[in-house]
Structures are given as structure tokens and as C-alpha cells.
Structure 1
Amino acid sequence: MNDLQRTKRNVLIFSIFVLLCGWIGVLVDLLTNQAHYQNVGTLAGQGTPGMGIFIASPLLMVLILRTFAGDGWKDAGLKPRFWQHKKWYLLAWLIYPVVTGLVLLTGHLAGAITFSSSMTLAAYVSLFIGQLGIQLIKNFFEESVWRGYLASKLLKFSWSDWKVYLVLGLVWNFWHLPYYLVFLSPSEIEATIPLGRLAFVAVATICVLCWTIMYVEIYRATKSIWPLVFMHAMEDAIINPLLIFKIVQVNPQWSFIFSLSVGMLPTLLYLFIGLYLRRKRLKKEASL
């Protein structure tokens, strides 16, 4: 078996496993009588054995494939490469704050978004800093899986950009399916976009597919997961406190457009950024 055949085999094993692991977690929670909807306003499945299985299993599979199945560690993207890619790190830090700020401003001017008067800026900054530390750790593991492993392997195939985006985006998204359908409480879905659980899955799928282009292009430019760790952490640290603590409230009639997590306005902005980065890369490659 040559290297490409081995990579294709391992990508298939990884993809099947991660699409099943969350449901194994759901089954474990059912067998151990875990309650998923008892914590309103927080991550409903947080702390359950099933949620732990859902989160940890993809990373465990990556460790197995890289250590024992011939994938190795050379393409894991663990080197920061900061000095060579300072502008990419700056971009990664700025994308989510800038887009979120634009959505908040636009939504407020349209009368679709209101702000809580009970939360001071200092209190929000404190929440943001606390979240950022947690999210840097969490997203190191997540980006080690989705960009550091799956994206790096898919980019070895003779596939078009669109096929790489689609396969990575769909596997990444449908790994979340147990989270969307079980671990996430109804109140959290309503706070994000009040369309019901199945409609939320459809909207989230579109969102993840659009995000994927941006993530893949930054990974291709840097060959490092670290800009993406920082970018993903910024997204969670900025948006989660705004929603969980109801600092920002979106009029339900406008949530399809202005929802900070899955609204069409931020999703289209992220898509535009990803397509712009792709265009810049192709122009650079054409000039070489």
C-alpha cells in the first residue's frame, strides 16, 4: 500500500468514526440516565459522559491514526510559524470581531438588535477574557482534528478546491449532528435562531460549509493550525457571552438574517472572506 492509498484509507476510517462517535456518546448518556436539558442558558450536555465522548473521540482517532496507522506527524500543523505569517495571525484575530461588530451595528440600525443595559463593558471584557482562555484550549484540540488532520490529508488528493471544501465541511458539520439534535437544549436553539431544531440543523449546515472555505484557505497559507486556533477561540469568546448572558437580543423576526452565530448576514460575510482569500491564492499561484 503506497502513501496515498494509506491516506485515503485512514481518511475514510476517520470520517466514519467521527460521524458515529457522537451517537455513541448519546447512547452512553441514555444508558446512564443523563439529563441534557436541565441547564438553561448553558451548554446543556456539558459534563455528561456522552458529551465527553463526543468531544474527545475525534482527537483520539487522530492520535491513533498518526501514531499507529502510518499517518505520522509531519503534516499536523503544530509549528506556529508566527514570524513568517504575522499578517495571517492578525487576520485570524480580527475576522470574528470585525464581522460581529458589523452585524451588531447593522442590526441595531435596522432595529433588529437591542443591547442589555444591565451589562457594563468592563463586565463583558471580563467574561470575554475568561472565555478566551478556555476556548484556546478547546479549539487547539478541535483544530488539531479538522484542519491539522482532515484538511491536511484532503489537500494531498488531486481534488478541486470545491470538493475539499464540501467533504471537509460536511464531515465537520455532521460530526456536530448529535450536538444539534440532542446535547443542545431547546432554549439554546431559541436563543440562537427560533426556527426549531431541524431548521436549525439546516441553517447550521449552510453556515459551516461557508466557514470551511475561510478556514481551509488560512490553513493552506500558513500550514499551521495556530492561526485557526486563535480565530476559532475568538469566535467562541466573543459571541458566546453575548448570547448566554443575553447581552445582545435579536428580534426573532430578524434572527434569520442577524443571528450572530448562524444568521445569513454574518455567514455571507464569512463566505466572502473565504472566497476572497481563495482568489488571492489562485492569483499568486498563477503568477509563479
Structure 2
Amino acid sequence: MSDEVKAKEFLDKAEKRVKGSSFMSFFSGGSGAKFEESASDFTKAANLYKMAKKWDQAGAAFQRAAECYLKANSKHDAASSYVSAANCYKKGNVADAVITLKAAIEYYTDEGRFSIAAKHQKEIAELYEAEGDLEQANASYQIAADFFEGENSTVAAHQCLLKIALFSAQLERYDKAIEIYERVASASLDNNLTQYGCKEYFFKACLCYLASDDLVSGERALQRYKDMQASFSATREARLLDDIIQACRQNNVENFTNAVYDFNTISPLDSWKTSMLLKVKSTINKDAESVV
């Protein structure tokens, strides 16, 4: 007998018991044990579907198990089943994965278990990110960051905030991105384990200023960052920023391109930085055209 056939038998048995339990509870006031048994059968069906790699069916069975656990007032087991359902739905059904994770998060927040709620909220953000839905990803990362901050999990909170900064810049919400990069940098300066990352945050914040065509604020920010962290002045990132700010002032595309090329040969630029630099370069071309 195949796993799918066995799973269907468990499903049918569980559904039959649920219907009987619902009818009985109308007269007797409840049948928690029957719902517990049904949840167990739904879970067995779900695991068999997992073995058969039938992920949507497995997710649906776990979800039914969660619903039965709720009726049996076993909220912890319900939350665990919702998470199991989401792990199956993640294989392809993102919308249902989000729904089931949110159901689990509701339980964990009600119980004050914000660390695990934050972990699952971050999973939701990552699902939206993978789908390219930056708006929903940002909103979900913000909730996760708030949860982490409430539990004093500063590093995890910063990881979520930095994602928001990254996507905000892509959405051309530069003020938001700058605020986050500067906030995380300030919080990282006095920690020997985190201060090394400050040059990256300063670099990205300054690129956001320049990409928004605010050369004056970008130049002032660069000087402020150098004052905040003396070692930043000697970094290749700071020198590149100096060079491209000068090139922008002179409307010199060639000098801009050469500075970026020299930097990239030693420290390859990722797609985000390349995108920001192209936006900065476009402000030079625009300014040059306006002079003509």
C-alpha cells in the first residue's frame, strides 16, 4: 500500500471522527479526547504525505491537525502543527505558508514567547523576499525587528533592520535607508565584535545620499562618519566616496567610472552597490546635460 493511500485512510478516519465529535459536542458540551485523536490521525496522514513529497496535501493535513488541537484546547500542539504545515507549504504555496505561520505567531505572542514569534515572523519576511514582494517583506521584517528588540536580541534585530534598509533603497526610499544604516552604525561603534561592520553601513548610507542627488548632504555625512569612527577615513570605501563626490562636483563621468573600476578590481561590488552607483552616475549625466 502506498504512502498516499495510507494517508488517505488516516484522513478519512480523522474527518469521520471530527464530524462525529462535532455532533456529540452539540449535546454533551465537548469531546476534547476525540479531537485529540483526530489531530493525531491528521498528523500521521501529513507525515505520510511528506514521505510521498505531496507538500500541499501534507500542509493541509497538518493544518487540519492544528484546528483539531485548538478545539481540544491544546494550543501549544496547535501552534506546532501550524509551523509544520508552513514548512510543507513553503515548498510552493507561499500564501498558505504565511497564513499558517501567522496563526502560530498569534499563539506565541499571546503566551509572551516573543523570541520564537520573531523567528517565525522573520521566516514570513524571507518568504516575501524570495517572491520579490519588497513591500510585504519590509513590513514583516519590521515586525520581526520589533519582537527581537523587545527580547534584547540586538544582533537579530539589526539583521532585520538592515534588510529593510536594503529594500528601502531599492524602492528609492532613501531617507528610511539612511536612518537605519546610521542607527545600526551608531549602535555598533562601541562593540569590538560589531564595529568592523560600520564601514559598510557608512558606505551604504552615503551612497543613498548621493543616489538621491543630494551631494551636499552626502559630503557632510561622509565627514560626519569619519568623525564618528577615525579608522573609517583610511578605508577603501571612504576613499571611493571621496573620489566619486569629487567627480560629481566636476560632472566628470570618466573620473567617476575610473574610481569605481579601481575599487571593484580589489573589492568586487555586489548588485545592490552597483545599482546605487549607477543611480549616482545618472545624476552626473543629468547635471552635465543641464549645463549644456
TM-score (norm 1): 0.26
Larger RCO (CA under 8 A, 6+ residues apart): 1
TM-score (norm 2): 0.26
